[in-house]
Structure 1
Amino acid sequence: MKKTILVTGASSGIGRATAKLFQSKGWNVIATMRTPEKETEFTELANVLVTKLDVLDLDTIDSALAQGIDKFGKIDVVLNNAGYGLMGTFESAKRESIIRQFGVNVQGLFDVTQKTLPHFRQNKEGMFINISSVGGRMTFPLMPLYHSTKWAVEGFSESLRWEMAQIGVKVKVIEPGGVATDFGGRSLDLQHNQEFAEYNEFVNAFMKAMAQSMNPETMTKPEQIAEVIFEAATDNSDKLRYRAGADCEQLLGARDKMSDEEFFAMQKQILGL
């Protein structure tokens, strides 16, 4: 019997690449997105259900799960991928923006997970694969809110795996580094109030360094991250964390070996700050 994966945020980036890879490997795919009416490619592929799921809308989560189970009979893996980055000085962040950042990246993941659990518990098997980030284990400047959501995903996943083991369900975490997606476009919300002049020099210097480092030609491709996700879904291990991308391996490898002071000094030198 074919296995089935549900992917949140399948319209672009890692989610899209993952949906395409699993479909090519013979899996059934529930490709969910906020605007499924705009999708054309997935609707032409066999064994793919395209449906609406907005992690901020509980009704769409219920509907997507019900449609997927109705069409394919069972869901084996849920990829909690939907998310975006809120960037900028914390003093500039609007309260509603902070709430939305945690709503999408954390509460949305919680809701999809919790609503899937009755199905997994009934089947006595299943798997959650949660997309974290290199930024779930270390930080960069101007991203305290994004990082805090990814650290939350890490802590949630590590603790959840204990109770999930009681019902035969596995939990995996993927930690991509820099990915050649639209994270710097529609998946990035930059908020900095220029009137807070004390921050401006630092903000401008960091944004320049970030722009120079985010070269799509040298960054990890979404398809490479999808391969790591497929490995996590199929390696039959209890491994929790999967590092994805050469930069993730390098950064977290250095972070593992260095003191806080040593690592911060290295970052400052690399970023020219």
Structure 2
Amino acid sequence: MKTVLITGASTGIGKATAELFFQRGWNVVATMRTPQSDRDDPRWMVTRLDVTDAESITQALTAGQSRFGGIDVLVNNAGYGLVGTFESMDEARVQRQFETNVFGLMRMCRAAIPQMRERGSGVLVNVASMGGRLTFPFYSVYHATKWAVDGFTESLQFELAPLGIRVKLIEPGAIKTDFYDRSVDFVHDRALSAYNDTVDKGTRRMNAFGAKGAAPTLVAETIWNAATKDNARLRYPVGSDAKSLLFLRRLLPDAVYRGMMRKQLLG
């Protein structure tokens, strides 16, 4: 029986993914910063893991391996969005965003690779975003982290493929989760009044865009397919918005694409 370890499994995409793998007969190590579970089953394990805490990563992986004999699939889902005007963001907030979305994901990969390498098999699934290949207003630092994850994942695929380890990149569009609420750190200093009108209009339109997003179960199904199908495919866009916007980004000249997005999101 195979085992999956999922970060950020308390809500949204992570929770939906944990449930799907469990329903399909896998052992599940559902990790979160504050462990909680009402399921008592030998195939279900909930444990603490904070991707910014290297010791908790080691402890969670060791616990999962001890109970189930190894981790076949790692799903790097933990993350959040730092949103707002860049001028309003202090250094600590920017560093925290990178610590979670980039360095935390790298820590997880570094911790999981050795036992996959020794076994000659395994799958790393990195949940990024369509925002790893295109951008929206007021998401500058968040986009910087997701573009970093995109480049890291594509390069990592080359070096791990000869070892039997497959690497996958999930690119969700807008998803109906708490990303636009609990998982967002919104920062804007209203004293920087030159931004206020644009911020009000842009955030209102972006939130409306997010409210129309796909269900997290759609991302979970995509993660399942990426993890269980033995192929060399790297990128998995999720949702009609991700697929259409990524297509337009490739198709249209840069100025035309940016003009279209500016009109749609900022008026």
After superposition, the C-alpha distances for 1:151-203 in whole angstroms (9 at most, x for unaligned) are: 00000000011110121111000000000000011100000111111111111
- 1:101 pairs, out of 77, 91, 97, with 97
Indicate yes or no: 2:255 matched with 1:235: no
Indicate yes or no: 2:222 matched with 1:225: no
Quote the Cα distance in structure 1 between the aligned partners of 2:214 and 2:9. Answer: 18
Indicate yes or no: 2:65 matched with 1:69: yes
Give the corresponding residue for 1:20: 19
CA contact (8 A) 2:124 2:166 kept: yes
Give the corresponding residue for 1:193: 189
Indicate yes or no: 2:208 matched with 1:207: no
TM-aligned CA deviation for residue 272 of structure 1: 4.2
- Percent of residue pairs identical: 45
TM-aligned CA deviation for residue 40 of structure 1: 2.6
- 1:40 pairs, out of 12, 18, 37, with 37
Quote the Cα distance in structure 2 between the aligned partners of 1:118 and 1:211. Answer: 41
Structure 1: where are the runs of 5+ without partners? none
Q: Which runs of 4+ in 1 moved over 3 A?
A: none
Give the corresponding residue for 2:174: 178
- 1:134 pairs, out of 125, 130, 134, with 130
TM-aligned CA deviation for residue 45 of structure 1: 4.1
Quote the Cα distance in structure 1 between the aligned partners of 2:116 and 2:209. Answer: 41
After superposition, the C-alpha distances for 1:67-108 in whole angstroms (9 at most, x for unaligned) are: 000000011000000000000111100110000000000000
For normalisation by structure 1, the TM-score amounts to 0.96
Amino acid at match of 1:28: N
Quote the Cα distance in structure 2 between the aligned partners of 1:40 and 1:91. Answer: 40
Amino acid at match of 1:243: P
| Pairing 1:6-17 to 2, within 5 Å after superposition | 6-17=5-16
For normalisation by structure 2, the TM-score amounts to 0.98
Q: Equivalent residue of 1:183, what SS?
A: helix
After superposition, the C-alpha distances for 1:191-245 in whole angstroms (9 at most, x for unaligned) are: 0111111111111110121232232xx3110001100000001111010000111
What's the Cα RMSD here? 1.0
Q: Equivalent residue of 2:74, what SS?
A: strand
Indicate yes or no: 2:249 matched with 1:255: yes
